[in-house]
Amino acid sequence: MACVAFTSTATHKCWSSSFIDKFPISSVAFPELPNSSAFRFSPPRKAAISRRISVVVAMSSSSKSTVLVTGAGGRTGQIVYKKLKEKADQYTARGLVRTPESKEKIGGEDDVYVGDIRDAEAIVPAIQGIDALIILTSAVPKMKPGFDPAQGGRPEFYFEEGAFPEQVDWIGQKNQIDAAKAAGVKQIVLVGSMGGTNPNHPLNSIGNGNILIWKRKAEQYLADSGIPYTIIRAGGLQDKEGGIRELLVGKDDELLETETRTIARADVAETCIQALIFEEAKFKALDLASKPEGSGTPTKDFKALFSRVTSRF
């Protein structure tokens, strides 16, 4: 007999498969029915029960949220996409990448779309039918050839033609927000960077791209869109294990004045997904960093974490 996993609309938590396995659908959905192979129903009774089962199954399926991760080929985007895939009882994951090569890099499944965010029409198929959007796209500078660390000095960077922050972090993100609004998307999580309050921040000088200025412009556009949003401005990203540090939230780059200015990509990814669960995360913007490993208590209560955030932008 088929079994169904039920999701609480209050907590968004699913009963475990081990719990469901113990209870066939008749005893979970219809506790008043005897669970005996000797029990027989008349044809009309069978038809009525079949319809009720169909309704329960449909309700269970519709409780899953379809979430699109853009920039799914990036180092943080890959983690978010993978985490959503691992929570298949709660989410239907989609990814958006720019090239077929990036699609193959993350598994090449049919739920990964290929499209250029700078082309508004190209991203519409990926966004149609989703419930939530997690934006992890960003312009990426390239190092100019010829740099030799042994010679000292600093490397020089550049952005490829058409791939400057203005095109990617402003126009590309604006395209995503506009498409999401047109499609009736219920929530957008946008990952940016700390440092945007300072127009003279060193990151803005890289490749003369003013990357934080264009990111900030996109964040403001999202905040003004009317769509429920969470803006996560991450500190320095580290390729380290997640879930083992105490996370810190702040606003207006105040965390940059402390010694806790970095965060694991895995912790950023988990925060993105947790933002989809709690109402306390909506219509908020936060700076995000973490204490060093072994210092403080690893963050598990994300509802409390989001509750400490008071800034809308």
> CA 159 to CA 144: how far, in whole Å?
10
Place of tokens 């329960």: 56
Using CA atoms of 65, 71, 75, 77 in order, give the dihedral in degrees to the nearest 10. Answer: -10
> CA 47 to CA 41: how far, in whole Å?
9
Q: Look up residue 142 and give its two tokens.
A: 């390239």
> CA 167 to CA 117: how far, in whole Å?
9
Q: Look up residue 19 and give its two tokens.
A: 């719990």
Burial of 202 (0-12, 13-18, 19+ CB in 10 A): exposed
Which phi and psi (to 5°) does residue 266 adopt?
-65, -35
Of 65, 102, 138, 193, which is the active-site residue? 193
61 is catalytic: no
- Active-site positions read 193
